[in-house]
Structure 1
């Protein structure tokens, strides 16, 4: 895989858009990613990994670092990467998820992550390949990138981006930590899961065997209880459930034997129960026949006794029949007797009503009836009707005048209220005129105040802008003071760092010169007689040089070099900070011009006072506008109220004239209608009383005549009915009458006697009773006792047989459970053995696993051997043949388990293995680098031999001495010779002199970073 170009915007410290041309910077095969700590070098690597896999390179880092804190809210964050693989050239553009400001309103909204991936033209990365549809789904793009690149994100980070820090930890880690990292890189979780699954299967097999054994024990106990076996059988069966399941055959044989015994017992008891049931049926049949014969004898005796009683009551029956016929005839004329009685009572009541009406009638009406004693009734009634009609006509004529008389008080009160309302309206109109006369002057004063406040408030925005400008200027003066102080401190720090660096350079040069001068003595110190001289080759050494006092050792030179490098780094950082602060101070002074802090403060106070006055005026504008509106609204309401009162007064004056005229007319008409009575109502009451009395007297006389005629008609009907029923008179008929209950009792007695005679006759004539012998008899108690004994014996025999059947059936079901549980236990033993053996082998705990390594550890150990072998190819070169890595199955001091992932560093100078944690910083770096490169080679081979065209090597070069650095760069050069482009991430100055092509990342004074690509 080769990286071509990458464009990023608003990512990490890069606020603006930047483009990296990897083809240009990597044309020589080796380039440097340079920049101070924290400037954004790692962000470029994170951007590459994010564009491909949607996450940053480090597993511990958060993806929230992607969105630049320096970017404006409307600037989109994205990474646009073009890369080439064997299948073509691809371009992927990815945006992270981040919170952006809402386009409308306040607050933020979540901007979702997005991706767009497609193939592009080989010669034009901006042109889409015809027929290539872009992929826009996050999950689909992730799968497609893994397919075309051939690496997962974990493999990519371990092969394309070599994280020196992580492999240094890997080098010094205990075997358990190495296990986790290797498992993550090589994806050997499947073996771990297989090992865990085998352990789970072993546990499941053990649980199944134990459950089967428990089930067999439970089934055996159930069989013992169901079959009611003795203690010997129960003890024997419990002994057959051995730990290895070998006693199941003997158990099943004993169960079969006991089941046969139970079946034989049940069959014998069933035969005895059937014989007892036959005897019970015979006895029951004999009891049934004896009971029927005894019942017939008892019934015949009862019928004969009842026949004798009926013959003795015959005379009483005849007398009751005669009484019943006479009572039925009297009941036929009962309604006519009652009708005559009611008619006579009606006549008496009507005569009383006539006398009461005469007593209550006016004297004129009573005299009219008294004078007509010799006049026919029809004539009296006609005179009464005439008098009543005259009174009705006169009273009706007074109805309208009575209403007028009743309304006189209301009319008079209405006239008074109308006159009072007119007076009130006149008072309201006078008050409104007085109030309205003052409104014009008040309105003019409010309008003048509003105009003045509006004019003052109009200049508020101008003063606000001026205040903001002055506040910014005041803050800038404060910031400038702080920057000048920081600049002075930076100048002092730069001078101090420069002095320290110069001293360190001079000391290193002095020590190197002294060391070169003392090399002869150092070489001679190791020479013995007969050893060849490394300079001249002679075996004799007549005048060996001696070590001078204070001889400089290699360690002294290395320490001086380290001090010098650190001093130069501090000087470079001090110069960068001083330059940045100088630029910021200059920019701040140019922005402030000639203004002074005191001038700005005075102008700010004055502007704030003016702005406060404008804001107060703005508040007055709102208040005065509300007051003017309220004034106008109140004036309009009062004018409308006065107009309404004037209109109501005009209407009320006309209404008063109409009411006064109508009242005079009513009073005159009522006076005429009184006609000598106090009121019209009194006159009408007298007339209405005459009408009522005449009506009542007419009704009473009419009712009396009708009642007398009705009595005569009822008496004639009664006489005809008495003659027809053979009664001498009404008194005789009344004497024959009986009550309804007595009549019903007579009818029941007569009917019951006749029915009893017929029933006795039919009973004695029945064939069963007539066929009985005269001396027939039955010994029923003896038959009952015989049936009882047979029934009890049959019940007892059936109970014993049923219990035996139930015991046999329950034992049969329990025996089936024993058979099933025994088969389950045997099957569990057969199935669990291989699983237990294989699980012990995989977990390293079985006897077949001599080294005690688990399956997952064994696989990782084989992969680890490949990594160590690949790392040693480079390590021997980088260390001049001194160091070599080895893998061991032995336990390490830091581990209590045998992991197979222990590691030692063999020092070929001493031929002793060393703990990796004893290596120095520089040694740890290049050993870790060899491990990382070896891991990359193995992962590449595991992934199908894919082409890793671009490779990044992270920080760590500052810990190497010049010779080792040359060796490391030489190995990286071999990678370059193989067609790879190697990017070295470092800020070591020596690498800047060695590697010409580089990407420089620099922070800007205002905070964000920028970059530039330098390619030869």
Structure 2
């Protein structure tokens, strides 16, 4: 893995966009004061790949990823790995509750035709393939690089506080790291697959042995016996065919004899069942009676029709009943109207008299009102002041002096004035009452006169309608005669209908007897026709009973002749049946001798063919079983050999064997190179050695080569030993993994300030040589100026109150 471009914004202490170009860098340093944000750059690289940072403690912790008071941040790393260019992008967001979450993560394979120093947006848009998204990105990165987060933070990124983990690791943990880092798991996988193949081969071996046991042993004698059986059954074919042909011939003859015998028996039975219908004898008598009844019913119909004609003639001379009914109704209305006219004349006279009385009363009331008003006027003139005061009102002008009235004068009203005025009011009320009474009387008179006029008009209309009508008594008499004539005609017509129905019923009964006679003749001919083959004589004459008697006499004679023939035919049937049974019995014995059981209704040729086919199948099966048995025996040997080889390989490649040996060899190689580096760094004092249980110890040459555990080293000595191991591991990872791991980057974030000047110079020279002699990127984090000055590319990190900033400085 080699970084080309690292961009982050809102990450850690970096609030602003920070874009780090590394495509042209092999050896660089991040320098600046303590707390400026140097380690955060390496954190961003690690976070882009694995979604977390070692310095944050827990493996999945991301709460420290966002810069303070920043709600959103992003990290993007463009890098080369496994022969391709990739981009790992992660987007962070702070929720309303203050929780930091990864809202977006993706890993894309990019088109490497775009220059690495182009605009970052252009690089990221050139996506050739989407590799993973979301939670799957971390796993996809581990699969792409060949190492997980734990191995990455021990071999590629060496963060503060974890620089000596590989040095102090337990032998088992160190072996697990080497297995993962150097791709030695392939041998464990190979061993596991070998052991699985051994299990599969064992299962196949057991199955083949089981099948071989179930198949059994097929000898040549068994095959020869099966072959003889096939030949013997083939030799039976001619014998079975002859017997089958003979049985078929006998069956044909028996069928013919049986057919004739059945026909003769059926004829004999039919002759015996021949019977004359019971109603044939009296059919002629019933026909004669039917003819007599038809004649009688015809005479009754003619007589009824004559009575009907006479009643029709009687009614024809009478007046129309509708006109008679109209005249009767008109006479009734005329009598009623005459009485009504008399009553209306009386009512009109009384109404006129009442109107005259009301008119006289109305005139007298008007005269009394005029007299009362005259008397009242005279009283007013006699007492005008009282009258004038009655019309005065406060605030209004006086009609006499035109002065405004302030106080109303009070005059006692004389008694005669009040009396006169009361008389006027009484007279006016009488006039109104008399006027209403006169109006009502006039209205009643007009109504009575109108009703009387209408009644006179109706009387005139009835008189015109009855101008040509006979008197009422004659009308009633004529209606009575017409009703009697109508009733007589209806009775005559009913009698005619009844006579006609009786005649029709008699005719239908005569027709039914004719049909019955025709059916009887048809039955006679049908009974005779079924014996045409026996020479039955034809039916002649018109006497139905004689025809039936002739047929019955012939049938009795014919049955006597058929009895002897039936006996002869049945004897021939029995002889053919016996011969056929003998042929079948002989064939049954022949088949039984060859183990073939012939069922009662079985077909010998079909049964023989089935046994022949079965015998041939048995023979083919035995031959095939003999061949499969030999093949299974070969399979058993092959599976046994495969199982033994796979089991042996699986045992050799177990993790406590081959892998342990590989790891020991790799650790020896690492320790050898690390010792050379440590000798240089320690001025020849210390050398690393692998103990018997893969534990690491140091040889102290200043103490006569004393072996010391690595945990007894001081802080600076531990840093030297850890750096030596890290440099050796980074240098040898490609060779030791057989080319499966190409971790051509290394980032060191540790306290170089603990080193003395000579050791620091040695460390700087070693790192320079590592970057120059190998295609490897080396990045270090330090605030030691003496070390930073020797690095060709520097990234100066500063921090103000708001954000950290990074600036590239060329030396």
If the TM-score is normalised by the length of the shorter chain, which range does it land in? 0.5 to 0.7
Q: Is contact 2:154-2:163 (8 Å) kept?
A: no
State how 1:147-166 maps to structure 2 within 5 Å: 160-163=156-159
- Cα distance in 2 for residues equivalent to 1:393 and 1:794: 126
**1:61 and 2:40 equivalent?**
no
What is the aligned counterpart of 2:731 among 913, 937, 940? 937
Q: Is contact 1:164-1:925 (8 Å) kept?
A: no
- Cα distance in 1 for residues equivalent to 2:189 and 2:99: 47
Give the structure 2 partner of residue 178 of structure 1. Answer: 174
Unaligned runs of 5+ in 2: 337-442, 456-475, 538-557, 599-606
Give the structure 2 partner of residue 974 of structure 1. Answer: 766
Q: Which moved more, 1:812-821 or 1:871-880?
A: 812-821
The 1:200/1:813 distance shift into structure 2, 3 A limit, reads farther
Give the structure 1 partner of residue 16 of structure 2. Answer: 17
What is the aligned counterpart of 1:753 among 514, 524, 527? 524
CA RMSD of aligned residues (A): 6.5
Q: Which moved more, 1:929-938 or 1:332-341?
A: 332-341
Q: Helix, strand or coil for the counterpart of 2:765?
A: helix
Give the structure 2 partner of residue 207 of structure 1. Answer: 203
The 1:300/1:127 distance shift into structure 2, 3 A limit, reads closer
- With normalisation by structure 1, the TM-score equals 0.46
- Cα distance in 1 for residues equivalent to 2:509 and 2:327: 54
The 1:375/1:751 distance shift into structure 2, 3 A limit, reads closer
- Cα distance in 2 for residues equivalent to 1:753 and 1:915: 138
Give the structure 1 partner of residue 8 of structure 2. Answer: 8
> 1 or 2, which has the higher helix percentage?
1
The CA deviation string for residues 564-609 of structure 1, in whole angstroms up to 9 with x for no partner, is: xxxxxxxxxxxxxxxxxxxxxxxxxxxxxxxxxxxxxxxxxxxxxx
What is the aligned counterpart of 1:382 among 323, 340, 360? 323
Give the structure 2 partner of residue 48 of structure 1. Answer: 45
Q: Helix, strand or coil for the counterpart of 1:952?
A: strand
Deviation at 1:48, TM superposition (A): 2.4
Unaligned runs of 5+ in 1: 221-236, 238-250, 352-372, 396-663, 677-692, 719-729, 893-901
Q: Is contact 1:161-1:952 (8 Å) kept?
A: yes
Deviation at 1:904, TM superposition (A): 4.7
**1:98 and 2:71 equivalent?**
no
What is the aligned counterpart of 1:955 among 741, 750, 755? 750
Give the structure 2 partner of residue 839 of structure 1. Answer: 646
- Cα distance in 2 for residues equivalent to 1:934 and 1:346: 150
What is the aligned counterpart of 1:871 among 652, 674, 680? 674
Q: Helix, strand or coil for the counterpart of 1:378?
A: coil
Give the structure 1 partner of residue 555 of structure 2. Answer: none
What is the aligned counterpart of 1:818 among 625, 643, 654? 625
The 1:55/1:274 distance shift into structure 2, 3 A limit, reads same
Q: Which moved more, 1:64-73 or 1:154-163?
A: 154-163
Q: Is contact 2:4-2:79 (8 Å) kept?
A: yes
Q: Helix, strand or coil for the counterpart of 2:10?
A: strand
Deviation at 1:750, TM superposition (A): 3.9
Deviation at 1:387, TM superposition (A): 4.1
Q: Helix, strand or coil for the counterpart of 1:17?
A: coil
State how 1:426-465 maps to structure 2 within 5 Å: none
What is the aligned counterpart of 1:260 among 227, 237, 242? 227
- Cα distance in 2 for residues equivalent to 1:393 and 1:71: 123
The 1:394/1:954 distance shift into structure 2, 3 A limit, reads farther
The CA deviation string for residues 439-472 of structure 1, in whole angstroms up to 9 with x for no partner, is: xxxxxxxxxxxxxxxxxxxxxxxxxxxxxxxxxx
Q: Which moved more, 1:875-884 or 1:199-208?
A: 875-884
Q: Helix, strand or coil for the counterpart of 1:256?
A: helix
Q: Is contact 1:296-1:769 (8 Å) kept?
A: no
Deviation at 1:157, TM superposition (A): 5.4
Give the structure 1 partner of residue 254 of structure 2. Answer: 287
State how 1:875-914 maps to structure 2 within 5 Å: 875-881=678-684, 883-885=686-688, 892=693, 902=694, 904-905=696-697, 907=699
Deviation at 1:184, TM superposition (A): 2.9
Give the structure 1 partner of residue 409 of structure 2. Answer: none
What is the aligned counterpart of 1:707 among 469, 487, 490? 490
Deviation at 1:383, TM superposition (A): 0.5
- Cα distance in 2 for residues equivalent to 1:280 and 1:4: 102
Give the structure 2 partner of residue 135 of structure 1. Answer: 126
The CA deviation string for residues 479-513 of structure 1, in whole angstroms up to 9 with x for no partner, is: xxxxxxxxxxxxxxxxxxxxxxxxxxxxxxxxxxx
Q: Is contact 2:93-2:100 (8 Å) kept?
A: no
Deviation at 1:177, TM superposition (A): 3.1
Deviation at 1:903, TM superposition (A): 5.1
- With normalisation by structure 2, the TM-score equals 0.56
- Cα distance in 2 for residues equivalent to 1:945 and 1:700: 137
The 1:757/1:820 distance shift into structure 2, 3 A limit, reads same
Give the structure 2 partner of residue 452 of structure 1. Answer: none
Q: Is contact 1:172-1:916 (8 Å) kept?
A: yes
- Cα distance in 2 for residues equivalent to 1:773 and 1:757: 20
- Cα distance in 1 for residues equivalent to 2:583 and 2:803: 117
Deviation at 1:68, TM superposition (A): 0.9
- Cα distance in 2 for residues equivalent to 1:253 and 1:21: 87
Deviation at 1:937, TM superposition (A): 0.9
**1:112 and 2:104 equivalent?**
yes
The 1:163/1:790 distance shift into structure 2, 3 A limit, reads farther
The 1:79/1:816 distance shift into structure 2, 3 A limit, reads same
Q: Is contact 1:905-1:915 (8 Å) kept?
A: yes
The 1:830/1:277 distance shift into structure 2, 3 A limit, reads same
- Cα distance in 2 for residues equivalent to 1:110 and 1:702: 121
Aligned length: 615
Q: Is contact 2:170-2:695 (8 Å) kept?
A: no
